């Protein structure tokens, strides 16, 4: 099935009213009727210049207004300006527009079209947003190959996760509200139906939203007659709970994104063959047909993720964009990476999981996804946690291995440089950057002594327009505890320069939590660390189980029973610094087996003395 011909330029505002104008499968809902009566006739013609924006050409029109390509003369960039056909006296329309703009402006993320400002001209309100070159997903050929859907899904889930973390619901996710840029990035757009959540007073997922959202939902419920474009979304992407008039949550967005992905895989949306008048009843009663039936070539793991998004009961879905992103990121990483277990013992004992141990690193998928997500838009992330919490393994085997596989996106080929400060951090830094800059370490060190700020400029020039660098500083507390003070100050200046926003440079670091204040006292680092901080919490019982069973499973070896796993989890939770002890016990347990294919048994665990006794033994 082929959608309409793909345009060469796509922008958030090309469908200002959210109208879904693409061809539909047989039996699908007809296109929505024109917008509400509060909209004035499309008679407004803007001048050639609106404040600092010089209008270049008209890009398109929709139910809510017209969109123009414009040149931002102050910042010298191209933008999109959407003029809203709303009567100036209509307070409700104006309030909704302001809410839309504020909601979208709260989200600064590579997978969300950015909103820059909102203004008014001759009674016509306008929104200035990022101009995106590419094509919307209602203009692509479907069904798509499953691996292409997976790439798109991961990007859109990242954008949705960013919105959910900032307390914003989209509530109208559909192919027409997603765009694939010329650089291959997927972006969510048109938060015209987004509503603000109160993340403190209204925790996800059980509690409904309040205030304006209650009134909006009640209005939407009255309109749910199965024959109209629903004010709370587009019918085939509308979650079942909104058909019955429940209030939306993050799980509602998860359903809509799942419906979009379902269509990309199968060629039609869920229940695409159902008559319009039957759609509410069917959506509330029956799960969509399995993807394995409609699209047998789709990877079973991806199909399972999508089908979980489409569960009728919200509680059975992923709880938020973050959870969905984590599942897709893990699947994407496994599909890109040949998950071949290294020879020998899959557990690391007291050693760190490094880049080559990616296939054996389990239990930190959500943390990996969050750090990667932040690195896509933030220049510096500092992972702080207790000694033995697994900070280094997370960054090396979890984050950096994915960076080298292309997880940061943006059309750049990122490389990684790693250092541990030690007694002479300047020498360590120069040695780490020697392969990147192609200059001897001694010369790099001399350049830093002469002008610390010049190093970052040299790195930007060296990696070029299509390259990138992540500098990883492991055990950054050594700058305050072990390093030569003069060298530590110079390196601190260099590291603080990484905090200047650049598309090509990122800084990732680990620091022990009990030394965080001392590291922040190094010249130039204090304010930057505060903004860049990521607190690594102890692993939950479920994550410990994953870290225990994952490496053995990858080697084709089972545990004798759940009781063995439970004993390991409980012992780790009791022990101080339990994570390294767990890894050591698992390494010992692996070697204690009677045969290479023998399961990991309670007898073997008793033989090594359990988690507490393994190291002592």
Strand order in the sheet with 134-136: 134-136, 178-181, 186-188
| pLDDT exceeds cutoff 70 at 500 | yes
* Three-state DSSP state, 299: coil
Categorize the per-residue pLDDT at 13 as very low, low, confident or very high, splitting at 50, 70 and 90: very low
304's tokens: 């399972």
> Tens of pLDDT along 550-604?
888 888 889 999 899 999 998 887 777 678 889 989 999 999 998 888 999 999 8
Closest CA to 104 of 13, 26, 41: 13
CB atoms within 10 A of CB 4: 11
Q: Are the C-beta atoms of 375 and 395 separated by less than 8 Å? A: no
User: Is the pLDDT assigned to residue 9 strictly greater than 90?
Assistant: no
Q: What percent of the chain has pLDDT over 70?
A: 82
H or E stretch at 449 = helix 441-450
Quick: pLDDT tens for 256-315: 999 999 999 999 999 999 988 899 999 999 999 999 999 999 999 999 999 999 999 999
Q: How confident is the model at residue 105, as a pLDDT?
A: 82
Burial of 582 (0-12, 13-18, 19+ CB in 10 A): buried
- Which homologous superfamily does the CATH classification assign to the domain defined by 12-135? Phosphorylase Kinase; domain 1 (3.30.200.20)
| pLDDT of 94 higher than 80 | no
Does this chain's domain 12-135 share its CATH topology with 136-334? no
* Per-residue H/E/C for 72-92: ECCCCEEEEEEEECECCCCHH
How would you classify residue 100: left for phi > 0, otherwise alpha for psi between -120 and 50, otherwise beta? alpha
HSE-up of residue 446 (Cα within 13 Å, Cβ side): 5
How far is residue 488's CA from residue 422's CA, in Å, rounded to a whole number? 10
Establish how many alpha carbons lie within 13 A of residue 62's alpha carbon, considering only the half-sphere containing its beta carbon. Answer: 23
pLDDT at res. 468: 95
Q: Please name which of 119, 110, 108 lies closest in space to residue 72, comparing C-alpha atoms.
A: 119
Distance CA 6, CA 136 (A): 8
Tens of pLDDT, residue by residue over 216-269, are 333 333 333 333 334 445 789 999 999 989 999 999 999 999 999 999 999 999
pLDDT tens figures, 401-433: 989 988 888 778 999 999 999 999 999 999 999
What is the residue extent of each domain of the chain?
12-135, 136-334, 364-535, 541-616
Task: Specify whether the CB–CB gap between 499 and 380 falls below 8 A.
Answer: yes
pTM for the model stands at 0.65
- Token digits for 527? 């304010």
Asked whether the predicted pLDDT for residue 86 surpasses 70, the reply is no
CATH fold, domain 364-535, is Rossmann fold (3.40.50)
- Count Cβ atoms below 10 Å from residue 390 Cβ, excluding itself: 26
- For position 99, what pLDDT does the model report? 74
**CA 95 – CA 268 distance, rounded (Å):** 35
> What three-state secondary structure class fits 472?
strand
Do the strands 380-385 and 505-512 form a parallel or antiparallel pair, or are they unpaired? parallel
Residue 136 contacts by C-beta under 8 Å, 6 or more apart in sequence? 10, 14, 15, 175, 176, 177, 178, 179, 180
Question: Which numeric CATH code is attached to 136-334?
Answer: 1.10.510.10
**Confidence bin at 192 (pLDDT 50/70/90):** low
């Amino acid at each position: 099935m082929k959608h309409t011909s793909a345009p060469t330029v796509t922008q958030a505002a090309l469908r200002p009213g959210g109208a879904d104008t693409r061809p539909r499968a047989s039996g699908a809902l007809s296109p929505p009727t024109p917008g509400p009566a509060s909209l004035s006739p499309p008679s407004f013609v803007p001048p050639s210049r609106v404040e600092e924006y010089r209008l270049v050409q008209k890009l398109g029109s929709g139910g809510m207004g017209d969109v123009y390509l414009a040149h931002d003369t102050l910042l010298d960039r191209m933008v999109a300006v959407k003029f809203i056909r709303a009567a100036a006296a209509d307070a409700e329309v104006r309030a909704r527009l302001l809410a839309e703009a504020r909601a979208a402006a709260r989200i600064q993320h590579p997978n969300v079209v950015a909103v820059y400002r909102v203004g008014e001209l001759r009674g016509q309100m306008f929104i200035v947003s990022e101009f995106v070159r590419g094509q919307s997903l209602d203009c692509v050929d479907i069904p798509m190959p499953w691996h292409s859907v997976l790439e798109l899904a991961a990007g859109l889930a990242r954008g949705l996760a960013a919105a959910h973390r900032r307390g914003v619901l989209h509530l109208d996710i559909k192919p027409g509200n997603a765009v694939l840029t010329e650089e291959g990035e997927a972006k969510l757009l048109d938060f015209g139906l987004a509503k603000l959540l109160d993340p403190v007073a209204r925790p996800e997922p059980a509690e409904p939203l309040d205030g304006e959202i209650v009134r909006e939902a009640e209005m939407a419920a009255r309109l749910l007659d199965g024959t109209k474009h629903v004010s709370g979304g587009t019918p085939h992407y509308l979650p079942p709970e909104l058909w019955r008039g429940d209030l939306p949550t993050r799980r509602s967005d998860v359903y809509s994104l799942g419906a979009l992905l379902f269509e990309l895989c199968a060629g039609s949306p869920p229940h695409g063959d159902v008559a319009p008048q039957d759609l509410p009843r069917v959506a509330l009663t029956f799960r969509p047909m399995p993807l394995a039936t409609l699209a047998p070539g789709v990877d079973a793991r991806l199909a399972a993720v999508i089908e979980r998004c489409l569960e009728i009961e919200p509680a059975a879905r992923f709880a938020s964009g973050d959870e969905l992103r984590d599942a897709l990121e893990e699947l994407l990483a496994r599909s890109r990476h040949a998950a071949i277990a290294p020879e020998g013992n899959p557990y690391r004992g007291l050693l760190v999981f490094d880049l080559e141990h990616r296939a054996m690193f389990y239990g930190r998928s959500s943390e990996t996804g969050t750090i990667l997500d932040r690195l896509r838009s933030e220049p510096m992330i500092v992972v702080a946690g207790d000694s033995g919490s697994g900070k280094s393994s997370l960054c090396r085997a979890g984050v950096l291995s994915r960076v080298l596989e292309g997880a940061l996106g943006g059309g750049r080929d990122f490389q990684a440089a790693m250092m541990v400060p030690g007694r002479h951090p300047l020498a360590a830094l120069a040695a780490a950057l020697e392969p990147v800059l192609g200059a001897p370490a001694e010369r790099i060190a001399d350049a830093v002594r002469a002008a610390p700020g010049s190093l970052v400029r040299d790195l930007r020039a060296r990696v070029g327009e299509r390259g990138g660098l992540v500098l990883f500083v492991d055990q950054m507390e050594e700058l305050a505890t072990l390093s030569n003070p003069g060298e530590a100050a110079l390196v601190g200046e260099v590291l603080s320069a990484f905090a200047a926003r650049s598309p090509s440079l990122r800084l990732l670091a680990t620091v022990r939590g009990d030394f965080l204040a001392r590291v922040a006292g190094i010249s130039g680092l204090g304010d930057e660390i505060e903004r860049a901080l990521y607190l690594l919490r102890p692993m939950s019982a479920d994550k410990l189980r994953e870290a225990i069973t994952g490496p053995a499973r990858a080697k084709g070896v089972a545990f004798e029973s759940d009781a063995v796993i439970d004993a390991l989890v409980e012992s780790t939770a009791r022990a101080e610094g339990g994570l390294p002890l767990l890894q050591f016990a698992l390494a010992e347990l692996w070697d204690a087996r009677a045969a290479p294919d023998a399961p990991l048994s309670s007898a073997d665990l008793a033989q090594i003395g359990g988690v507490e006794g393994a190291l002592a033994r």
